[in-house]
Amino acid sequence: MTSSNKSVAELLIERLMQWGVDTIFSLPGDGINGIYEVLRINEARIKVVQVRHEEAAAFAACAYAKYSGRLGVCLATSGPGGVHLLNGLYDAKFDGQPVLAITGHTFHDLIGTHYKQDLDLDKLFMDVAAYNERIMGPSHVHNVVDEAIKIALSQRTVVHINIPKDIQGWEMDGQRSVANTPAHSADIYKMSRPVPSQAELIAAADLIDQGKKVVILAGRGALDARDEVLELAAMTQGVIIKALLGKAVVPDDSPYTTGGIGLLGTAPSQDAMQECDTLIMAGTSFPYMEFYPKQSVRTIQIDIDSARIGLRHKVEVGLTGDCRETLRSLLKMLKQNDDKSFLEKTQERMKKWNDILYAEGTRNDKPLKPQVVAFHLSSIIDNNCIICTDTGVVTTWAARHIMVRGEMQFSASGNLSSMANGLPYAIGAAMANPGRQIICLCGDGGFSMLMCELATIAKYQLPVKIIIFKNNTFGMIKWEQIVFEGNPEYGLDLHPIDFAMFARSCGVAGFSVNDPALVEKTLRQALNTLGPAVVEANIDPFEAPMPGHINSTQAWHFAEAMMRGEKDRWNIIKTVIKNKVRRVL
């Protein structure tokens, strides 16, 4: 078929392949049948991963981008199909991932006439998509696709293309506007790694050299700058604290890091933040401002997005640029700091914290503690595995007890903090990285929201190992109601599901464990299983994900909730007191 009589759908798929797209996450539908026929013809060159829910397609596309650095693509039909994409697309937008969403529409000449599935997705996607266009004919395809992909990659964001059902079949007839010069749009993108000016770098270096207690807060923008962040810590004798999405910036056994910050973080991180005199924010705009140091602490922020400079904390020197390249330029200007007192003090605290984590992870009392599951899992997973964690209490156990090492990658639904991302993330990660071990940690609440996607994992025999922390409750919401609001828990109990049996019904190996003595053995069995496997860990529902340090407000709210009639107050109090005694001892 010559280019002169190719259809809109053919031109679309051809252009996507020219851009290097080889994977699309989708669920079929009447509004995109024209596109699907072209995908069928080209199935040897571009793979369609059929999901069970469009929300999962968007989540998977986001994860594909996160774990590969490439464009993620999802495709959904008109009306409800497009609506279902939104949550996963907002996840991509909030975490700065390049994702292209393609949707169908009803017949072009019935739009606006109350026809079936006549939902104006262009308007619906106005907020989530930085570029949002409807293709109007064959001569419009390349222009729109090229612009969409360039914006997605350059701005690290979501873009949307909508194509009415009948227009997908329109063929190129040579008709185009006089202004639309043929072949003027190119399928080319050159990544930019900008660096701040010399004067700005000098100002930052001078400020850092004056610091005696330096903290480096590293986020997802520094994920490709491990060597530079470690060198910066060595030059400044500084402490590296990692935002959740920056967990894989440096290994957790580095002598310079105290791990995470915030409610999921460590006590030594909070102590270092409160005691530092200089803060270097590298590729992060960590949202929880109550965990930053006081505003008088001198702060340098490095971010690719100038709008993020000074967003969370008073900044004395802002450096707009690529984190890795900016650090490389900055390191050349720094003086070596030989005063290790702040670092060594922090290292002593971190040693005690790690002793606590070890004690929590090796407990043998029942009911099974979630820390025991995460601790043993961490010790046996591959050094280059990819870790996907759902949102909830499970995120705390992953953040604290999964020790990043080697070339491990780690991510979660960061700024959106959506539940149900875990399974779709694992699908996207597996498709982007064939042959690598994929570890997915879910709570029973998050898992059950999109548990249908286990069938997708089974269909494609993706080597995903899913660990479900089952406590039959929405655990994180429970502790938020109690500790943040001072209210007794309400509306949180979950009807129990046998997830191991469910896994087997999907054709996936299913395991269950509730004895701490059998945790490591069970996990090893699952990891050694060919193809996907599910481990249902039946954990103590009263084990609280307490922050590294508990402030007086949280303590009062906890007591208030107990006094106001928390139904499980005696079990909760007993567990919290027992854990506190263990930490003291």
For strands 158-164 and 131-134, give the pairing. parallel
Q: Which has more confidence, 173 or 347?
A: 347
Residue 1 in tokens: 């078929």
Q: Cα separation of 354 and 368, whole Å? A: 20
Residue 187 pLDDT > 80: no
Distance CA 223, CA 473 (A): 34
pLDDT at position 181 is 76
**CA 45 – CA 22 distance, rounded (Å):** 7
Tens of pLDDT, residue by residue over 278-332, are 999 999 999 999 999 999 999 999 999 999 999 999 999 999 999 999 999 999 9
User: pLDDT tens-digit profile of 50-91?
Assistant: 999 999 999 999 999 999 999 999 999 999 999 999 999 999
| Burial classification of residue 336, based on how many CB atoms lie within 10 Å of its CB (0-12 exposed, 13-18 middle, 19 or more buried) | exposed
- Give me the pLDDT at residue 585, please: 39
pLDDT at 481: 86
The tokens for 133 are 């266009």
CA distance linking residue 245 with residue 219, whole number of Å: 6
How do residues 489-518 score in pLDDT, each as one tens digit?
A: 899 999 999 999 999 999 999 999 999 999
pLDDT reported for residue 574 = 53
pLDDT of res. 480: 85
Q: What is the mean pLDDT of the chain?
A: 93
- Per cent of the chain over pLDDT 70 is 93
Task: Write the DSSP symbol of residue 278.
Answer: E
Dihedral sign, Cα of residue 141, residue 93, residue 534, residue 260: positive
Answer positive or negative: Cα dihedral of 17, 21, 24, 30.
negative
As to burial, measured by CB atoms within 10 angstroms (0-12 exposed, 13-18 middle, 19+ buried), residue 191 is: exposed
Instruction: Give start and end residues of each alpha helix (H) in 119-255.
Output: 121-124, 141-155, 198-210, 226-236
Q: CB of 151 within 8 A of CB of 115?
A: no
Indicate if the pLDDT at residue 583 is higher than 50: no
Q: Considering the entire predicted model, what is its pTM?
A: 0.93
pLDDT for res 563: 55
Q: Going edge to edge, which strands form the sheet with 464-470? A: 409-412, 386-389, 438-443, 464-470, 533-538, 509-513
CA distances from 245 to 43, 160, 259, 358, 432 (A): 34, 25, 12, 23, 19
Residue corresponding to tokens 């997005």: 305
User: What's the confidence (pLDDT) of residue 520?
Assistant: 98
Greatest alpha-carbon pair distance for the chain in Å reads 80
pLDDT tens-place string over residues 188-244: 777 788 999 999 999 999 999 999 999 999 999 999 999 999 999 999 999 999 999
Helix intervals (H) in 95-197? 121-124, 141-155
Q: Say if residues 417 and 396 touch (Cβ distance below 8 Å).
A: no
pLDDT, tens digit, 9 for 90 and up, residues 541-566: 989 887 777 654 555 455 455 556 55
Q: Are 116 and 78 in contact (CB under 8 A)?
A: no
Least confident span in 18-32, 38-52, 550-564 = 550-564
* Dihedral sign computed on CA atoms, order 206, 209, 213, 215: positive
Radius of gyration of the chain (CA): 25
Structural domains present in the chain: 3-169 (3.40.50.970), 198-347 (3.40.50.1220), 362-584 (3.40.50.970)
Q: Is 532 helix (H, G, I), strand (E, B) or coil?
A: coil
pLDDT at 529: 98
Q: How confident is the model at residue 184 (pLDDT cuts 50, 70, 90)?
A: confident
List Cα–Cα distances, 583 to 101, 355, 580, in angstroms. Answer: 49, 9, 5
Q: For residue range 342-357, what is the model confidence (pLDDT) as tens digits?
A: 999 999 999 999 999 9
**Which amino acid is it at 173?**
D
Q: Who has greater pLDDT, 299 or 475?
A: 299
Half-sphere exposure of 375 (CA within 13 A, CB side): 19
For residue 408, pLDDT beyond 90: yes
Extended strands (E) in 304-375: 317-320
* pLDDT for residue 39 is more than 60: yes
Q: Name the one residue in this structure whose structure tokens are 């001072």.
A: 486
pLDDT recorded at residue 582: 44
Q: Quote the pLDDT of residue 569.
A: 63
